Structures are given as C-alpha cells and as structure tokens.
Structure 1
Amino acid sequence: MMGNAFIHFDNVSKAFGVMTVVDNLELAIQQGEFVSMLGPSGSGKTTLLMMLAGFEAPSSGSISVKGKRVDALPPYKRNMGVVFQNYALFPHMTVAENVAFPLKMRGVSRSETAERVGKALDMVQLGQFHERRPSQLSGGQQQRVALARALVFEPEVVLMDEPLGALDKKLREQMQMDIRDIHHRLGLTIVFVTHDQAEALTMSDRIAIFNHGKIEQIGKPSEIYDRPTTQFVAEFIGETNLLSGRVTACRNGLLDVAVEGGQQIKVASTAKFEPGEHVKVSVRPERIELAPAGGSANELSVRVSDVVYRGDHLQVIAAAASGPLVVKSTRKASAPRIGDEAVASFSPEQCWIVA
C-alpha cells in the first residue's frame, strides 16, 4: 500500500525547538480517498497538514505525491487547494474575485477564469452571489466561497483544516453533507483535520487518530468506532465503558475474564492471552441492555444511580461491582428509575480487548 500510495509520509518528524509535534510518522493515502486526521489539540494533526501544504517543512523524513517528493517545493507548486477555519477571504474583493484569485496567480485567461469561477460557485450553490463582498455573507456562505476558491483551479488534493469549526450545528451538518457530495462527484483526494468525532465518522473513508505526534490507529469509521485497538482510541471516539479484569481461560476465540468485583464475562478475541494476564475490556453504552437475567452470556448485576434525559435516548448510570457503567437506553423501553436493581447484559461480540 505504501509503494503505490498517492500521498506518502515517510518517517516524517517535526520539532519546534525541543518539542516534537510529529514523531517519525508513516502514512499512505490513496487517490480519491477522504482521510480525516482526528485528535485532541496539540496531537500533531494540523502540523502534518501544514507540512503537506508546504507552509511547514519536515525536520526529517519525506513527503511525496504520485511518487515524487514535494517537501522542497513551495506551496504554489504543489497543486493543492487549502480551506482554513477562518476562511481567509480578501475583504476588499467580491465573491467572484476571491474565487478567481488562484487562477489569476496562475495566469489563466479572463474568459476561462469567468467560466471556471461560474462553475465553482454553482457547485457550492452560490451562483447568484458573484458581486457580493465577504462582509455581506453569512459564515456558512463565506465557507462555501473558501471551498469554491480551493476547487476552482482543479487541484489534485484538497486540504481542510477545521473548515466547519466556526459554524453552528445545523449549518455544520449541512456543509458536511455538501463536502461529502462534492468529494463523491469529483473524486477528489481530501485530507481533513478535525477534532469533532461525529464529523470524522460522517465524512471519511478512513480516520487516523492522532496522539502525541503519532497515529494511534487508522481505519474505516466502523473499525475505529466498533473495534478501537487502544484505550485512548476507545475513550476518544464516542463513549465507552472500560472494565478491568484478568483472563481466566482462553479457548475457541473466546476469553473468560474475571472483572473487578469478581463477576465473569466472555469476550470474543482472536488474540492469545495467558490465564492471569491483566486486560481492559471496552463496551459501548448502546451495546448494553438493562434486561431480565438469563438472556445473555454476559450479565452484570447493577443498581441504577442516575437517569439523564437526552432526547432520543436515556443515559443511565448504573453501579456495578466492577465500577460505574453508562448505558444508552431507548425511550421505548420502560424507563429505569434511580434505585432499581437490574442486569446489564451484552454479548461477547459486543465487547473487545483494548491495549
């Protein structure tokens, strides 16, 4: 996969003084892929994007596109469109002039520029806004202009750094769908930086989870969410319950684990573990049911300590011998009450071991 990658980061590091923000990182991105870089502030994701764009130089390692190194090229020679969170529009220019700017810098003729600007603005549904200034537009419209400007010169790659961070929830969700649609229609290669988990899950072909300058895990959204490989990823993406315990037996793809408090659970796992090994088991709140005893391989006795109304579900906090459990309960079920004794049940396939 590395050899025929469209974009390849080969052992790339970046240090500012004594602080290493990207640490010996290896990443391959295929042509036409939408890859999101997700992680907390300071995890290195934006620095990696800035190195790909040419605004920062690697301290070591190399970056190549289509097999050719680009780390020594200036930004304007990399044929990449960039969209920032703050839009970076020129206030004294009209919408059309803003979008035309990259073409002007490349010496494209006036007639071709007018045609391309019209197409780019139609693509982001701003065909009627040619003559307006950025100050006359809403935040969402300004972001569409920035997107049109990044697409107008038909770049090979579009880089986006928290492009929807300043928008309200409804507009942000609409723009997620619009960018996703443009990606599918044009077959663009998009590298997208965000700290919003839902955004990454919604839009990406693959997600790279960053932690302290390294990629902790990379995979399809479903893999990252349903099978996080480490405790950091399990806790960073969505909510999870972590149960500590020791392996008591390992056979036929199932681990028997005695969790803290003494109760036994079964975990589906292809990895081999020795009896006595300490493990952590992750189980998502929506995978747990509060149900009568006797219906599942894994049943933990709990007492309901809090019930929080969340609109589409109830968040139930339950006390088990192994520690507190968070359960997402559908509102169709008879609502649990504080103080209720219950059984938290889940199958071996709905929990997994994290490193």
Structure 2
Amino acid sequence: MIIGPALSCRALSCRAGGRTIIEGLTLELAEGERVALMGPSGSGKTTLLTTLAGLLPPASGRVLVRGVPLDEQPGLRAELALVFQSYGLLSLLTAAENVEVTLRAAGHAPKRAVEVAAEALERLRVARFAGHLVEELSGGQQQRVAVARALALRPRVLLADEPTAEQDATHRAVVLDELLAVTGGGTTLVIATHDPEVAERCDRVIELREAVLR
C-alpha cells in the first residue's frame, strides 16, 4: 500500500466560469498540518477546496489522498470533509438532523448518530437550536451547524471555506478553537480565509493570486 502526504495534488489545474482559476499547482499537506489559504475574491480558494475535496473534477492533474489518486479510489472521499462557504445544509431538516443524516450516511448507527450530533452541536454552541429548521437559524448559526457536521465526521482532512466569516468575536473564537483542535489528533486542516488572525494560528499560509500559487 502506498503511503504519502495526507493530501496532495500534482500539476493541478482548475477551471470555473469558463476560465482557468488554478494552474499547474503541486502541493503537499502533512498529517496534522494547519494551513491557511488566502487570496482576494476570485483567486480560486473555493474552487481549489472543492477540487481537493473530490467534488469538482480538475481540468488537469490529480488529487491524492495518502499517495493514492482520488480518481482511482473515489471511496477515499470519505476521509475528507468540507465546510461549504454557503453552508450546504438541507433546508427541510433541523440542525440536528443535518448532522445526523451525514453521520448515518457515513455508517453510524442511528442512536450513535444522534449522540455524536448532539455532542458536536454542543461544542459549537448551537445545541439549543438543535430542533430548529435551517430557515429558522441566523447565518452565523447555520455556519456553526455546518462546522459541527464536518467535525462530527472526524475526517483525516478537513477543508473549511471561510468558516468564521459570519461569526461575532465570541463565536469566531469558538469555531476557530474547535477547528484547530482536530489537528491534535492528526487531522489535516485547510482554512480558506481573509482573516489575518486566523492565518496567524496556522502553520503555513498559501496565497492564491491570478491562478498562481505564491
């Protein structure tokens, strides 16, 4: 069995909106590493995260999980979790159900899914909204539910797209602390952010500008 970096890409190019956003990117992310992905709007942060998560096929190049090409073993996507900038919650479900249904799809028994979801919502300080439908939640609350859902999966690699953007100072600290804590267990964390304070708490900062990695 081939073992390599937790997540890597080779000569990766990505297109969006009819143009090349990322071109010829080669990158290796170590187990437990904290990486901040920065750059102006339109520089490709969201496109790159979506491609690394295996949800968007690259225009060229490859994404690898522990040295294994993701396109050869799609099942490796189960080791990755993505916090969407738009949250990606199911509007007809409650906050708790959004987390539970993801856990059940990942193989958790129903009772265990309920328990793990409750714990995750508590950590992100949205437990009191567990029974609320998504449309009843504020943007900040929805964002914390989305983070809770990703953390509950305990992925090997966690990709988060602007996960603190909708938070006040108190909840921003909660979200960031919970995200950074997972690296202590070996999870690799990549955070797309505009916030220099978030970047300061990461091991490495990658800047994307005009389809060039800096």
TM range (shorter): 0.7 to 0.9
Aligned positions of 1:255-334 closer than 5 A: none
What residue number does 1:124 align with?
A: 124
1:65 aligned partner: 65
Q: Which amino acid aligns with 1:80?
A: L
Tell me, what secondary structure is at the counterpart of 1:142?
Answer: helix
On the 8 A contact 1:120/1:152 being kept in 2, the answer is yes
Q: Which residue of 2 aligns with 1:108?
A: 108
Distance 1:214 1:89 in 2: 32
Corresponding pairs, count: 212
What amino acid sits opposite 1:188 in the alignment?
T
Deviations 1:35-90 (A, max 9, x none): 11111122222221111112211122111111111135558844221112222222
User: Which segments of 5 or more consecutive residues in structure 2 lack a partner in the other structure?
Assistant: none
Q: Which runs of 5+ in 1 are unaligned?
A: 217-355
Aligned 8 A contact 1:53 1:75 in 2: no
1:46–1:138 CA distance, 2 compared to 1 (3 A): closer
Bigger mean CA deviation after superposition, 32-41 or 68-77: 68-77
- 1:180-199 to 2 correspondences below 5 Å: 180-199=179-198
Contact 1:36-1:207 at 8 Å conserved across structures: yes
Displacement of 1:211: 1.5
Bigger helix fraction? 2
Distance 1:10 1:184, change over 3 A: closer
Task: Give 1:166's aligned residue.
Answer: 166
1:10-49 → structure 2 map (5 Å cutoff): 10-16=10-16, 19-49=19-49
Output the CA distance in 2 between the equivalents of 1:184 and 1:73: 24
| CA distance 1:18–1:114, shift in 2 (3 Å) | closer
Task: Say whether the 8 Å CA contact 1:53–1:78 is kept in structure 2.
Answer: no
Contact 2:37 2:190 in 1 (8 A): yes
Check the 8 A contact 1:15/1:59 in 2, yes or no: yes
Contact 1:53–1:80 (CA<8 Å) still a contact in 2? yes
Which protein, 1 or 2, shows the higher relative CO under an 8 Å CA cutoff with sep ≥ 6?
Answer: 2
| Aligned mates of 1:130, 1:173 — CA distance in 2 | 19
Please report the TM-score for the alignment, with normalisation by the length of structure 1.
0.54
Give the match for residue 209 of structure 1: 207
**Percent of paired sites with the same residue:** 36
Three-state SS of the structure 1 residue aligned to 2:40 is coil
| Change in CA separation of 1:14 and 1:95 when aligned onto 2, cut-off 3 Å | closer
CA deviation vs aligned residue, 1:151-188 (integer Å, no higher than 9, x gap): 222221111112222334x2464245433553355442
Change (3 A) 1:145 1:190: same
The answer to whether the Cα contact below 8 Å between 1:94 and 1:132 also exists between their aligned partners in 2 is: yes
Q: Indicate whether 1:84 and 2:80 are aligned.
A: no
- Give TM-score scaled by structure 2 length: 0.85
Alignment partners' CA distance in 1, 2:39 and 2:177: 23
> Which SS does the other structure have where 1:195 is aligned?
coil
Please name the residue that 1:308 is paired with: none
> Residues 94 and 17 from structure 1, CA distance in 2 versus in 1: closer, same or farther, beyond 3 angstroms?
closer
Which of the pair has more CA radius of gyration? 1
Compare 173-182 and 36-45 and name the one that shifted more: 173-182
Provide the rounded CA distance (Å) in 2 between the counterparts of 1:33 and 1:67. 16
Find the aligned partners of 2:18 and 2:146 in 1 and give their Cα distance: 35
Q: Aligned Cα RMSD in Å?
A: 2.6
Deviation at 1:148? 1.3
Alpha-carbon distance in structure 1 between the residues aligned to 2:14 and 2:72: 15
User: What's the offset of the Cα at 1:16?
Assistant: 4.8
- Contact map agreement 1:82 1:158 (CA 8 A) in 2: yes
Contact preservation (8 Å) 1:81, 1:158:
yes
**CA–CA distance in structure 2, aligned partners of residues 108 and 181 of structure 1:** 24
Q: Is the 8 A contact 2:180 2:189 kept in 1?
A: no
